[in-house]
Amino acid sequence: MPQCHVQPDLTELTEPRTICELTGAVWHIISTVFLPPAPPPTTALTCVLRCFPCEPSWAGSPFLHRPPTPPMVRMTRSKTFQAYLPSCHRTYSCIHCRAHLANHDELISKSFQGSQGRAYLFNSVVNVGCGPAEERVLLTGLHAVADIYCENCKTTLGWKYEHAFESSQKYKEGKFIIELAHMIKDNGWD
């Protein structure tokens, strides 16, 4: 059995409030008593025990020595793209994954034609990504448009009008076409 030359200072220990503080206190005692002065091991367990909601408690605890996070195992929070429209309003959603796309109040016109049938023109949309703009000759003339797709399932939904070359079509600039084949009505439709 190894001889213990260093006694841990337990006078500074307070009652742990979180799992991270408890884990840190245990790690401090173990490292002080049984381990030579060396950086803590970089294992999956030690990385998992450093949870995000508890990280600020490391700085405020005088008895905890937070080891630096190794660059190869740095944990990051995932970025969320999905926006949710209010459930009390009538909304349109992606037919493939049910991600919200537009509020009914943003609907400008129901009398548009897409490549797969009828389409609606919206003032603004959510959970939608844009491809590169390109010039296309549509039923109403030459336009610069960018295909739009659902950010959740990546299905092409329609397009965004970037630029209209004819003055009578300028009202479409910055607006979005979503084909009915790719959306369903959600919430509050009676």
Q: For residue 181, give the CATH number of its domain.
A: 2.170.150.20
- Asked whether residue 137 is assigned to any structural domain, the reply reads yes
Q: 178 with 115, same domain?
A: yes
Residue 142 lies in a domain: yes
C-alpha to C-alpha distance for 156 and 60, rounded to whole angstroms: 49
User: 55 is in which domain, residue-wise?
Assistant: 19-73
Residues 174 and 95 in one domain: yes
pTM above 0.85, yes or no: no
Q: Give domain status of residue 12, yes or no.
A: no
Residues 106 and 180 in one domain: yes
- 4 in a structural domain: no
Q: Could you tell me if 60 and 104 lie in one domain? A: no
Instruction: Say whether both 102 and 182 belong to one domain.
Output: yes
> Is 122 found in the same domain as 50?
no
6 within domain boundaries: no
- Describe the chain by its helix, strand, coil percentages, rounded to 5: 20, 30, 45
Residue 130 located in a structural domain: yes
Position 120 in a domain: yes
The answer to the question of residue 98 being in a domain is yes
| Cα dist from 60 to 2, 14, 15, 19, 39, whole Å | 33, 12, 13, 15, 21
- Residuewise pLDDT in 10s, the chain (190 residues): 555 455 555 555 455 555 555 555 555 555 555 555 555 555 554 444 444 444 444 444 454 455 554 444 334 344 445 777 766 678 899 999 999 999 999 999 999 998 899 999 999 999 999 999 999 998 889 999 999 999 999 999 999 999 999 999 999 999 999 999 999 988 766 5
**Count: domains in the chain:** 2
Instruction: Please identify, among 31, 47, 73, the residue that sits at the C-terminal boundary of a domain.
Output: 73
